[in-house]
Homo-oligomer: A and B are copies of this chain.
Amino acid sequence: MAIHKFVPKVYHTAIGTHEPVLNIKSGDTVITTTVDAGGVDASGKQVTEGGNPQTGPFFIEGAEPGDMLSVHFDRLAPNRKFGRSSTVIAPWVLDPQYIKECPKGKSSNWQIDLKRWKATLIEPKTKLGRLKLPLEPMLGCFGVAPPRRQAISTATSSTHGGNMDYRGFCQGATVHFPVFVPGALLHVGDGHALQGDGEIVGTGIEISFDVQFTVRLTKKKPISWPRAENEEYIMTVGNARPLDQCVQHATTEMVRWLQEDYGLDARGAHLLLGQGVKYDLGNFYDPAYTMVCKVSKALLAKVAKGKSKKRRRA
C-alpha cells in the first residue's frame, strides 16, 4: 500500500508498450501530475509536444493478460490558473448542409479560480460575456497498453481505454481495464477543468492536473471493454464509430457484467436493462466515439435484496 510521488520527465502521444517509468503494486497509490493536451505544464511551460501527452506508463507488478486493472481516482484537480478550449463545434457534429454557416476556429482563454472552483471566459468576446462555469475536473485520456504490440494514438480510444473524453471520469470514479500486456502499463493525461457531453468542440477546458490514483489488480478476470463505477452507478464503456457501435459494445459488456458479478440470469439481465438502463455520451469528436451504459447501484441493491429475501423464504 505504498504511496509513490512521481514527477514525470517523458510523455507519450501513443499508448503502447513503452519503457515503464515506475513499478507499483496492487493497492499502491501514485501522486503525480499531467501536462495539458498541448504539452504545457502547471507553470505554463511547453515541456513536450502536444496531442494529449501521457504521464507513465506505470508497471503494475503481477499484472498479466486476462487480469483486470482497477484505477481509482483519489484526486483530480487542475493545478494552474488558466485553461483554453476550442470554440467551434466540429463539422461532423452538425448537419453537413449547415457547416458553411459555422464561425471560424479560434481558441478561447479561461481564468481558473481554484478557490471558488470556477472557470471564467476571458476571450474571445462573444454575447456570452465573461461566462462563469463551475469546475468539474475529469481526465480525458488514459488507459493501458493495447494488445498485439500496438501503439495507439492518444487521439483515439478502443478496448484499452485512451481518449474517451467522458465527463464521468472524475474524482471518485474507479475505472476497470482489461490487461493486455505484462504490467498492464497504465498511462494518464489530458485533464479538463470542465467539458460538455460529447466534447463537441474538440476540447474541454484544457489544463494541467494534479493526479492521485490507486490501483488494484484482480487476477484472472477477463473483461472486454472498460468498466467503471462511482457512488451511484456501474458503467461500461464502448469506444468506436459510428456511435451505434459504441452502444453495442457498452450494452453487451453490461449484459455480461450483470451475469458475471450480480447474479442475474440472461433474461433477467436483459429485462432489467430494458426498463432500467441509462446511457451517457462520452466523446463525439475523436476518431472513435464513446458511449457509456449505466445501471444505478440503487436498482442493483433492490435486485439483490429481492433475491436474498427469496432465499430466506426458501
A residues in contact (CB < 8 Å) with B: 13-14, 16, 51, 85-103, 106, 108, 119, 121, 124, 126-133, 148-153, 155, 194-201, 203-205, 240-245, 247-249, 251-252, 255, 263-268, 270-281, 284, 289, 302-303, 306-307, 309-310
Contact = CB atoms under 8 A, between A and B. Distances in A.
Contact of A245 (B149, B241, B310): B241
Given A98-B255, A103-B270, A127-B263, 17 more contacts: A16-B150, A16-B151, A86-B274, A89-B255, A96-B248, A101-B266, A106-B267, A126-B267, A128-B303, A131-B272, A148-B155, A194-B275, A196-B277, A199-B274, A241-B244, A242-B243, A244-B289
B96 A99 contact: yes
Nearest to A98: B252
Given A247-B93, A252-B94, A88 B267 contact: yes
Q: Please name the 8 residue pairs, one residue from A and one from B, whose CB atoms are nearest each other, closest first.
A: A201-B274, A91-B96, A126-B268, A243-B243, A129-B306, A196-B277, A127-B268, A92-B96
A252 B92 CA distance: 11
A149 to B, nearest CB: 5
A277 B148 contact: no
Chain copies in the assembled complex: 4
16 contacts: A95-B249, A96-B99, A96-B248, A119-B275, A128-B268, A128-B271, A129-B303, A149-B151, A151-B151, A200-B273, A200-B274, A201-B275, A204-B275, A241-B241, A243-B244, A247-B281
B128 A264 contact: yes
Contact of A94 (B108, B255, B268): B255
Contacts of A270: 87-89, 102-103, 201
A253 to B, nearest CB: 9
A273 B88 CA distance: 9
B241 A150 contact: no
Contacts of A194: 275
